[in-house]
Amino acid sequence: MPKITCLECGKPFDVLAPHLRRAHGMSSDDYREQFQLPQGYALVSSEVSESRQQLLLDMVADGRVQRPDQAELTAAARGAGRPDKTPEDKRRHRAIIQQRRPGDHARLPDGAKRADGRNADRAREYQQAYRALRAGDSGPMEQYRRKYG
């Protein structure tokens, strides 16, 4: 369990403030200022910090603690983040998604040949027809056979 070490004397503590007052005659703020620690820097061990956090969460959960500005905070949190998409955004995003699909980066351009020498368009048509056939639709495969004999 990591304790917090007093930067004045090097001794470990769970809670630093009483020690600072008694041994060094300092307040927490004096101490933070002397060692240039940020204002909210907790002067307790990680164990105490976690148990305090948990205690607060428990108290909020069962309603013992309620911030007076709770309602505003909740509303602000709900309203934070991205604004809703406008219809124009939606239209643009749909167009992008229709253009680019997963696997497009690997798709050969129209009229290209595959590495094995086959016509990429024909191979693609065959793949699509074969998938449809496997899924129970023989129409595309019949179309493919008529087209390529």
Q: How far apart are the first and last CA of the chain?
A: 76
Within 10 angstroms of residue 83's Cβ, the number of other Cβ atoms is 7
Between 31 and 144, whose beta carbon lies closer to Zn ion?
31
Q: How far is the CB of 1 from Zn ion (least distance, A)?
A: 19
Could you tell me which stretch among 2-10, 33-41, 49-57, 118-126 binds Zn ion (CB under 5 A)?
2-10
Q: Do 130 and 122 meet the contact criterion of CB atoms below 8 Å apart?
A: no
Count of residues engaged in binding Zn ion, rule: CB under 5 A: 3
Q: How far is the CB of 9 from Zn ion (least distance, A)?
A: 3
Match 């909210």 to its residue by tokens. 40
Question: By rule CB under 5 A, what string of x and - marks binding of each residue 7-46 to Zn ion?
Answer: -xx-------------------------------------
Using CB under 5 A as the binding rule, whether residue 6 contacts Zn ion is answered as: yes
- For the record, the structure tokens of 2 come out as 């990591």
> What residues contact residue 30 under an 8 Å CB cut-off, 6+ apart?
20
Positions in the binding site for Zn ion (CB under 5 A):
6, 8-9
